[in-house]
Homo-oligomer: A and B are copies of this chain.
Amino acid sequence: MDLDGCIKALSHLDLDTKPVSVKAKSRDFFWYSPVLKARLDHVTADFVVSPTSEAEVIEVLKTCYAHDVPVTARGTGTGNYGQAMPLAGGCVLNLANMNKVKEIRPGSVVVEPGAVLRDLDAACKGDSGQELRMFSSTWATATIGGFVAGGSGGVGGIRWGSLRDPGNIIRLRVVTMEAEPQIQEITGEDLTRVAHAYGTNGIITELEMPLTAAYDWVGMFVTFPDFGEALRYAYDLASQDGILLKLISVFEPPVAHDYFLRVKPHVTPDQTVLAIMVAPQSMAGFETFTARHAGAEVIYRSDQTQWTKAPGHVFEYGWNHTTLRAMKIDPSITYLQTSYGTEDPVAKVLEARAAFSPECLQHIEVTRSGGRVNMAGLTLVKFTTEERLDAIVAEHEAMGIPNFNPHRYTLEEGGRQATDARQLEFKRQVDPKGLLNPGKMISWDDPDWGYETMYAWPGLRKAAE
């Protein structure tokens, strides 16, 4: 790669080569994983460029292509799986300044990738009482482009399923990594080639996303004396077609007591806690339903309860914020991402708890999949060794509990360890030199890889001595 030539050619843009700030912009939340922490901590790009328009994106890609410089796209770096880590150095394409909300319609929005989820929701709510269908728990800082390029779903998934479900992304506009970068409008089945591809298959410059009605959601914490009872309540509540929900998270004890500092004064170590978001007009229905469950106690609701130390948004206790809060108290904690599915997931969660507690503590997110209530696990794990972590993953798989392993940095290993032929074929067209976020797609680098061990990309830049 001709780094100096590339930097020089792009020097009229907002471009940064200062090692400290470049390194800061070369990191995401890969450090949730001790495995990735050990391997990627040194990773840094050579420069960061921050375009403010699609025209500048095209210029950056064309120039990097000409100089054989790898390009790793970045929002605000709140993702996991090391997905925004520039393994081979080169250019970090920081899209945070491309953040315009371009058009808000009834039911949809057209937006640039760098818009922060919170700002986007505020714009949609202010315009017409609308908001995104779903967002990550990093809503306050994450970008819509990063969410779509690296996320799979999140808060709101209890109503709308996951990002990969038809209808949850309407259109993506992407720029290809070619001698003459092309603009492609991606819709329909083709969306899976670009969404959740970590920026390996083109750079997203515009998104069209569905919206839904915004409400002043009531955030609650609910306790149960029994974990299984709490799980069944969560499943049944999510099955209530007339109650509009945005979140149900279930935390095995003592997660809430030990790791949620502002909740701790209000719960005991043996209580199961749920974080729940309900639309205001559904609170009457919620109360009716909840009163049928003798064990349920609502200890906090955002529209009524005053705690001396306010807990903030309850969704900032769910999804990967649970892991974050636990790690802050106990740095040895990491996590798994599992699926308990839609066929009696409560029984599967209880089985996993029986097998792994307290080394693993269950943290369940209730979502929808294929029209049915689904349970996803963001299980907390007390990390000891990589071997033990791998064994825990393998034991889950053996129990019929699939993993989306967050201790791997490739798309395939973070997915279901299979080549996505359409994604690979698309990469051949849009990134013929393989310069977009290199090292993240095994099938591109090593089509015969067998997945027996963790993939270590040979191109990974070595740490400086």
Contact = CB atoms under 8 A, between A and B. Distances in A.
Interface in A232-271: 238-244
Contact of A242 (B106, B161, B240, B279): B161
Given A166-B288, A188-B287, A242-B165, A279 B107 contact: yes
Contacts of A280: 106-108
A152 interface: no
Contact of A239 (B240, B279, B371): B371
A243 B107 contact: no
A187 interface: yes
A272 interface: no
Contacts of A240: 161, 165-167, 371
A411 to B, nearest CB: 21
Contact of A289 (B107, B159, B166): B166
A340 to B, nearest CB: 16
Nearest to A171: B284
Nearest to A107: B281
A370 interface: yes
Interface string A127-142: 0111001000000000
How many copies of the chain does the oligomer comprise?
A: 2
A193 interface: no
A285 B166 contact: yes
A241 B284 contact: no
A359 interface: no
A133 B285 CA distance: 14
A159 B371 CA distance: 10
Q: Which of A105, A167, A291, A370 neighbours the largest number of chain B CB atoms within 10 Å of its CB?
A: A167
Given A128-B129, A212-B213, A243 B166 contact: yes
Contacts of A284: 166-167, 170-171, 187-188
Nearest to A243: B167
A282 B129 contact: no
Interface string A274-316: 0000011110111111010000000000000000000000000
A370 B289 CA distance: 13
Contacts of A241: 159-162, 165, 368-371
Interface string A171-197: 100000000000000011100000000
A133 B282 CA distance: 12
A215 interface: yes
A241 B129 CA distance: 22
Nearest to A281: B107
A160 B242 contact: yes
A393 interface: no
Nearest to A189: B288
Interface in A180-226: 187-189, 210-213, 215-216
A104 to B, nearest CB: 12
A319 to B, nearest CB: 17
A373 interface: yes
A42 interface: no
Contacts of A159: 241
Contacts of A212: 213
Contacts of A216: 106
Interface in A94-132: 105-108, 128-130
A443 interface: no
A168 interface: yes
A52 to B, nearest CB: 28
Contacts of A188: 284, 287-288, 291
Given A106-B280, A107-B279, A167 B285 contact: yes
Q: Which of A128, A129, A242, A287 neighbours the largest number of chain B CB atoms within 10 Å of its CB?
A: A242
20 contacts: A105-B281, A107-B244, A107-B280, A107-B282, A130-B213, A159-B241, A161-B240, A165-B242, A166-B240, A166-B285, A167-B243, A167-B281, A167-B284, A167-B289, A168-B242, A168-B285, A170-B284, A240-B371, A241-B370, A371-B373
Given A106-B216, A107-B282, A167-B243, 10 more contacts: A105-B281, A106-B281, A130-B213, A161-B240, A166-B240, A167-B240, A167-B244, A171-B284, A239-B370, A241-B370
- Interface pairs A-B: 9 shortest CB-CB: A167-B285, A239-B371, A161-B241, A167-B242, A107-B281, A165-B242, A166-B285, A168-B242, A213-B213
